[in-house]
């Protein structure tokens, strides 16, 4: 399929809707939306947002599970030249407040609740404390009740009926390829999440190239339970299918049995998931009773055993991928028709428009073929982190390559082999987590002198979070207390699974007195 001619998201939707008006674009529960209907719903919502004074460059946050309204909201926001702020559905009140403030969000579109999370209570508490002063409008999706100051989605759309269509059309036409479209927050080596800026043209071109490696066509249907707030969902998966005119089949939240039923019922052809999702599905009692023969390709990440698990699920042409939010989803993807041995052992060659370097992280000298070093990428890369010029400057080398902080090597055929992380980021269940953020939370306990958080290998989740605690003299915090502290202030996946208590003298140190984190796991969690 040729690359779309459009270089902005509003133009892309018009182009694909004109090409495939009657094809289904989104399936979400009982909701089925064709591309013609998607274009209409996006326009109606964009007109409603315009009525609420959303304009070019404004930040509009989205907080809900995998619903059709997430996708419609994102496209409507982008249609006005405003910026989509993807908010973590698993976050706490503190994390929600941070993202809303840091992003300068003017408007928030959300469901009042999601699973065990009560966003209504979280946001009300923040507003009562005047903790989100820039937030002017809240749009409520679905039922469940909400404060009278919030605007129901239906009322938002109704307000838009008073807005001349020409005003919205003009706003869409004014959007430029290098305008900011998405602001996706990702864990980093600092304690606070960083806002990754992604532009219209890069979102279209790079995700189309990802789909080409996977042999995606307009006939494909992609099963998606990966959370849309994550770049893997709202960038990689969604825009991959949108650029090809395919269909997104949403699962609001992951459940292995429901996923098997949904893939069978909708005859999904593409798998997009993490290794622990595939393992849960293969191990589910219904696995042998479900017809998953429709599965063909898709994307996953992990070691050879984990990739093989997805193939066992039925996605025989699944692609092994490498990337970060900062590189618009993926920078490397194996081809769907590559031999299975290659797809198991490497993450493929750079996508068109991307170039790679492997350098010694301490000297910056380029490594020879087969030598492990830091992976650096140039091409379709974020222009930088929102409101953080210092970290942006540090993230690029003197040749303009993005420092991924990951380790790998290139073989004689130019394929990249991922070899671990140079940074301290822990990837648990496919989600990147900053230990520094968890350590900062643990250090607020009056009995904690020092907290060290790290990842140890785990057969199901790749890594799990563990913590070494040095208590203050005379105070002995319990494991239960510390776990509850984390649950109160952090998303559930950031809570350490195991705790060890130690004296400061027991910690392995460098000759300059710094803790050697790379040796802590082996000393305290040797059996993990």
DSSP string, 173-204: HH--TTSEEEEEEE--SSSS-EEEEEEHHHHH
CA distance 308 to 305: 5
DSSP labels, 45-97: HHHHHHHTT--TT-EEEEE-SS-HHHHHHHHHHHHTT-EEEE--TT--HHHHH
Model confidence at 150: pLDDT above 70:
yes
Kindly state the average pLDDT of the residues 28-43: 98
Q: With bands split at pLDDT 50, 70 and 90, how would you rate the model's confidence at 426? A: confident
Under DSSP, the state recorded for 396 is B
CA distance 32 to 26: 6
Cβ of 82: how many Cβ atoms within 10 Å? 26
Residue 12 makes CB contacts below 8 A (sequence gap 6+) with: 4, 6, 204, 242, 243
Averaged pLDDT score across all residues of the chain: 93
Given this model, what pLDDT does residue 527 score? 53
Q: Are 376 and 331 in contact (CB under 8 A)?
A: no
Of 496, 499, 485, the residue nearest 92 (C-alpha): 485
Domains of the chain plus CATH, in order, are 9-201 (3.40.50.980), 319-421 (2.30.38.10), 426-524 (3.30.300.30)
361: number of CA atoms within 13 Å, CB side? 17
Given this model, what pLDDT does residue 512 score? 41
Q: Are 462 and 306 in contact (CB under 8 A)?
A: yes
Given this model, what pLDDT does residue 200 score? 98
CA distance 168 to 47: 6
Given this model, what pLDDT does residue 479 score? 95
Kindly state the average pLDDT of the residues 469-489: 92
Cβ of 193: how many Cβ atoms within 10 Å? 20
Model confidence at 147: pLDDT above 70:
yes
Q: What angle do CA 223, 229, 233 make, to 5 degrees?
A: 30
Of 457, 451, 391, 402, the residue nearest 428 (C-alpha): 457
Model confidence at 190: pLDDT above 70:
no
Cβ of 22: how many Cβ atoms within 10 Å? 8
**Which of these ranges, 13-27, 79-93, 436-450, has the smallest mean pLDDT?**
436-450
Model confidence at 516: pLDDT above 80:
no
Strand 59-63 relative to strand 105-110, pairing: parallel
Distance set, CA 25 to CA 43, 130, 240, 244, 247 (Å): 15, 40, 12, 10, 4
Q: With bands split at pLDDT 50, 70 and 90, how would you rate the model's confidence at 188? A: low
Q: With bands split at pLDDT 50, 70 and 90, how would you rate the model's confidence at 241? A: very high
Q: Tens digits of per-residue pLDDT, 389-404?
A: 999 999 999 999 999 9
Model confidence at 528: pLDDT above 60:
no
Kindly state the average pLDDT of the residues 435-458: 89
Model confidence at 434: pLDDT above 90:
no
Kindly state the average pLDDT of the residues 172-191: 87
Total count of residues recorded for the chain: 528
Q: What are the start-end ranges of the E strands in 91-147?
A: 105-110, 113-114, 117-118, 137-140
Model confidence at 513: pLDDT above 70:
no
Q: Are 466 and 453 in contact (CB under 8 A)?
A: yes
Model confidence at 432: pLDDT above 80:
no
CA distance 58 to 74: 13
CA distance 355 to 335: 17
Q: With bands split at pLDDT 50, 70 and 90, how would you rate the model's confidence at 416? A: very high
Cβ of 143: how many Cβ atoms within 10 Å? 10
Residue 114 φ then ψ, to 5°: -155, 120
For the chain, helix (H) and strand (E) counts, in that order, are 18, 26
Q: What share of the chain is helix, strand, coil (3-state, %, to 5)?
A: 35, 25, 40
The tokens for 6 are 């459009």
Strand 31-34 relative to strand 24-28, pairing: antiparallel
Between 191 and 146, the higher pLDDT residue: 146
Model confidence at 277: pLDDT above 50:
yes
């Amino acid at each position: 399929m040729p690359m779309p001619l459009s270089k902005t998201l509003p133009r892309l939707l018009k182009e694909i809707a004109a090409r495939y008006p009657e094809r289904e674009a989104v399936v979400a529960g009982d909701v089925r939306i064709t591309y013609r209907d998607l274009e209409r719903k996006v326009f109606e919502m964009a007109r409603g947002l315009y009525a609420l004074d959303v304009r070019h460059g404004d930040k509009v946050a989205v907080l809900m599970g995998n619903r059709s309204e997430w996708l419609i909201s994102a496209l409507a926001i982008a249609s006005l030249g405003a910026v989509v702020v993807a908010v973590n559905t698993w976050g706490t009140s503190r994390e929600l407040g941070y993202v809303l403030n840091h992003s300068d969000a003017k408007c928030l579109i959300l469901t009042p609740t999601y699973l065990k999370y009560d966003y209504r209570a979280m946001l009300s508490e923040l507003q009562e404390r005047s903790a989100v002063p820039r937030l002017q409008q809240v749009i409520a999706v679905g039922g469940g009740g909400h404060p009278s100051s919030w605007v129901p989605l239906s009322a938002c759309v109704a307000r838009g009926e008073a807005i001349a269509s020409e005003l919205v059309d003009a706003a869409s036409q004014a959007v430029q390829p290098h305008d900011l479209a998405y602001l996706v927050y990702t864990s980093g080596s600092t304690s606070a999440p960083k806002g990754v800026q992604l532009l219209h043209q890069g979102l279209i071109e790079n995700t189309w190239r990802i789909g080409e490696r996977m042999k995606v066509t307009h006939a494909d249907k992609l099963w998606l339970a990966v959370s849309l707030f994550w770049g893997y969902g709202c960038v990689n998966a969604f825009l991959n299918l949108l650029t090809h005119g395919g269909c997104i089949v949403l699962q609001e939240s992951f459940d292995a049995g429901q996923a098997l039923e949904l893939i069978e019922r909708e005859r999904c052809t593409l798998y997009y998931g993490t290794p622990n999702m595939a393992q849960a599905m293969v191990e589910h009692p219904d696995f042998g009773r479900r017809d998953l023969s429709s599965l063909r390709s898709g994307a996953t990440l992990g070691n050879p055993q984990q990739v093989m698990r997805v193939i066992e699920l039925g996605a025989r042409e699944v692609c092994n991928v490498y990337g970060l939010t900062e590189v618009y989803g993926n920078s490397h993807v194996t081809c769907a028709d590559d031999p299975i041995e290659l797809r198991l052992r490497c993450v493929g060659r750079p996508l068109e428009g991307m170039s790679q370097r492997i350098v010694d992280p301490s000297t910056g000298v380029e490594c020879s073929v087969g030598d492990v070093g830091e992976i650096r990428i140039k091409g379709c890369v974020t222009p930088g982190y929102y409101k953080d010029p210092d970290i942006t400057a540090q993230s690029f080398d003197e040749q303009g390559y993005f420092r991924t902080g990951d380790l790998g090597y290139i073989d004689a055929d130019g394929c990249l082999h991922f070899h671990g992380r140079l940074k301290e980021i822990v990837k648990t269940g496919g989600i990147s987590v900053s230990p520094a953020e968890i350590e900062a939370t643990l250090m607020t306990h009056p009995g904690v002198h020092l907290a060290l958080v790290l990842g140890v290998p785990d057969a199901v989740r790749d890594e799990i979070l563990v913590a070494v605690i040095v208590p203050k003299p005379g105070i002995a915090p319990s494991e239960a207390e510390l776990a509850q502290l984390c649950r109160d202030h952090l998303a559930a996946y950031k809570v350490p699974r195991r705790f060890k208590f130690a004296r400061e003298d027991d910690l392995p140190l460098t000759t300059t007195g710094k803790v050697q984190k790379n040796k802590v796991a082996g000393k305290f969690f040797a059996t993990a």
